[in-house]
């Protein structure tokens, strides 16, 4: 069971172009080799190795993401208000009611129509942010056809899953007249837990190809590190993220026996063995410290608060615009745009909170990874590679609000501090 619960370290993969782990270690700046080590000077030395034009590009890309967050919210809000104000939502509800007398099927049909309309209206921003902007910054490797194919897959997944879950949610809203917000919260939390367990095994392979890592020089030290930290694993996997972008990354996913740590083929092809070990030590930290179930718990608490807010606001807004919106109550599918609008606004305002929850777990995993892999310089050079699409040195408030991972500077500083305090152990 322990073997099942652990690391079937997953990954999708295409043909390997370079022997995994064959990249030589990055040169360590002189200030990072000094004994005793000045942590601040070593951090500045690492940051100085990134050319100014690359820093400017990654800063512009990441800062542009702040604007995109606002634009996505505003566009989403405008679409949802339009669906209500123009009566499109009420007409869609009426059409589905004429199509069938089965309430659950009516809700499923409404969901499909709602998804089509909102996706089409949001598509211009979606293709700009997901395709054209990624190519403009040299981060995407996808053709337009391949990108559209992945978007179509994502749409199909949303359609099927929503058609199964949304009717269940509306069944609760219809029958639990006074306590729907509590039962609704419970349903969403259960759905999130199911999705966390289901997605790595059944959904991820729809978008990437997974195969075991065969390079023993990479596989053996990762498995050894796993065993040293109480993780029973006998396989390491990779996935072909290079078909979508040139970003290096790894992640931990899964729940209830489907936990998996994944590293992408870009990490294997662009990073040294030390950097790979540093990344995998970090991901093992997520597993050992139970970050996935903890994340579901924190998200669950926010979900309950969100449903309480929904209970407080839905009827007030519905009654105020009853003549135009023609929404009957919380259990009326025509009110889904209003539910979505309230939830979207709540999550948008909550962005610094959710970012902080995730960022805190990432810091914990960084510390675990430093102690597990004992590769502080590799961790620092890996942070620079991650800095190709994340701003390396933001202000303190900027990092607090917008970063769901530690900044490159924070990660390098932590690695150099660890190195300074473990000089005798190196």
Question: Which one, of 378, 382, 385, 387, lies nearest residue 419 by Cα?
Answer: 378
SS3 210: strand
In this predicted structure, the answer to whether residue 14 has a pLDDT above a threshold of 70 is no
Q: How many angstroms separate the CA atoms of 43 and 412, rounded?
A: 6
Please report the pLDDT score of residue 70 as a whole number.
97
Per-residue pLDDT band for 204 (boundaries 50, 70, 90) equals: confident
**30-34, 226-230, 281-285, 359-363: segment of lowest average pLDDT:** 226-230
pLDDT at position 2 is 36
Rounded to an integer, the average pLDDT of 183-196 is 92
Please report, for residues 177, 274, 346, the alpha-carbon distance to residue 422 in angstroms, rounded to integers and kept in the order given. Answer: 60, 17, 44
The answer, yes or no, to whether residue 235 has pLDDT greater than 80, is no
Structure tokens belonging to residue 77? 């809000």
Query: What pLDDT band is residue 231 in, cutting at 50, 70 and 90?
Result: confident
Chain centre to alpha carbon of residue 299:
13
Per-residue confidence (pLDDT) for residue 199, from 0 to 100? 83
pLDDT at 146: 96
Mean pLDDT score across all residues of the chain: 90
Per-residue pLDDT at 338 exceeds 60? yes
Average pLDDT over residues 179-199: 91
What is the chain's length?
426
Q: Contact, 414 vs 367, CB < 8 A?
A: yes
Q: Rounded to two decimals, what is the model's pTM?
A: 0.88
Confidence of residue 258 (pLDDT cuts 50, 70, 90): low
Please state the domain extents for the chain.
2-20+37-421
pLDDT score recorded for residue 7? 36
Residue closest to 296 by CA, chosen among 261, 264, 256: 256
Separation of alpha carbons 220 and 394, rounded Å: 37
- pLDDT (mean) for 375-384: 96
d(CA 45, CA 154): 42
**Confidence label for 252 from pLDDT (cuts 50, 70 and 90):** confident
φ, ψ at 64 (rounded to 5°) = -60, -30
Percent above pLDDT 90 for the chain: 76
In 3D space, the residue among 187, 360, 215 whose CA is nearest the CA of residue 289 turns out to be 360
- Predicted pLDDT at 254: 66
Confidence of residue 259 (pLDDT cuts 50, 70, 90): low
Residue 384 has pLDDT above 50, yes or no: yes
Instruction: Find the distance separating the first CA and the last CA of the chain, reported in whole Å.
Output: 36
> Does residue 11 carry a pLDDT above 80?
no
What is the rounded average pLDDT of the residues 410-415? 98
Taking every pair of Cα atoms in the chain, the longest distance, rounded to a whole number of angstroms, is 78
Q: Rounded to whole angstroms, how far apart are CA atoms 370 and 86?
A: 56
Q: What is the pLDDT of residue 380?
A: 97
Structure tokens at 257: 């026996």
Per-residue pLDDT at 411: 98
H or E element at residue 335: none
pLDDT of residue 100: 94
22 pLDDT tier (thresholds 50, 70, 90): low
pLDDT above 60 for 424 = no
For residue 186, the tally of other CB atoms under 10 A from its CB is 16
pLDDT of residue 1: 34
For residue range 326-335, what is the model confidence (pLDDT) as tens digits?
999 999 999 9
At 16 the pLDDT is: 35
pLDDT reading at 20 higher than 70:
no
How high is the pLDDT of residue 426?
46
Task: Identify each DSSP E strand in 10-116 by its residue range.
Answer: none
């Amino acid at each position: 069971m322990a073997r099942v619960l652990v690391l079937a370290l997953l990954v999708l993969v295409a043909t390997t172009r370079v022997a995994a782990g064959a990249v030589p270690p990055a040169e360590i700046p002189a200030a990072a080799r000094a004994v005793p080590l000045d942590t601040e000077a070593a951090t500045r030395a690492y940051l100085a190795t990134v050319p100014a034009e690359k820093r400017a590009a990654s800063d512009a890309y990441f800062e542009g993401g702040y604007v995109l967050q606002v634009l996505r919210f505003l566009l989403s809000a405008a679409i949802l208000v339009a669906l209500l104000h123009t009566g499109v939502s009420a007409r869609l509800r009426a059409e589905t009611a004429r199509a069938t007398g089965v309430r659950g099927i009516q809700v499923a049909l409404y969901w499909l129509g709602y998804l089509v309309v909102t996706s089409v209206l949001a598509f211009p921003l979606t293709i700009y942010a997901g395709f054209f902007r990624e190519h403009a910054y040299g981060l995407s490797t996808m053709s337009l056809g391949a990108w559209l194919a992945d978007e179509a897959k994502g749409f199909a997944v949303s359609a099927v899953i929503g058609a199964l879950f949304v009717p269940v949610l509306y069944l609760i809203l219809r029958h639990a007249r006074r306590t729907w917000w509590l039962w609704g919260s419970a349903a969403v939390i259960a759905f999130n837990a199911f999705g966390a367990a289901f997605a790595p095994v059944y959904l991820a392979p729809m978008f990437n190809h997974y195969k075991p890592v065969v390079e023993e020089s990479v596989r053996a030290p990762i498995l050894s590190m796993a065993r040293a930290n109480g993780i029973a694993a006998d396989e390491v996997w990779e996935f072909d993220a290079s078909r979508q972008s040139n970003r290096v990354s790894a992640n931990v996913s899964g729940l209830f026996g489907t936990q998996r740590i994944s590293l992408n083929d870009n990490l294997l092809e662009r990073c040294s063995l030390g950097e790979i070990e540093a990344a995998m030590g970090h991901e093992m930290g997520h597993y050992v410290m139970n970050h996935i179930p903890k994340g579901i718990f924190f998200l669950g608490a926010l979900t309950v608060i969100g449903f309480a807010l929904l209970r407080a606001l839905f009827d007030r807004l519905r009654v105020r615009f009853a003549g135009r919106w023609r929404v009957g109550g919380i259990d009326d599918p025509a009110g889904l745009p209003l539910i979505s609008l309230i939830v979207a606004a709540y999550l948008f305002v909550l962005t610094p909170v959710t970012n902080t929850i995730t960022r805190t777990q990432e810091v914990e995993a960084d510390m675990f990874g430093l102690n597990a892999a004992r590769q502080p310089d590799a961790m620092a050079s890996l942070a620079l590679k991650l800095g190709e699409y994340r701003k390396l040195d933001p202000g303190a408030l900027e990092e607090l609000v917008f970063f769901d991972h530690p900044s490159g500077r924070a990660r390098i500083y932590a690695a150099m501090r660890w190195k300074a305090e473990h000089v005798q152990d190196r």
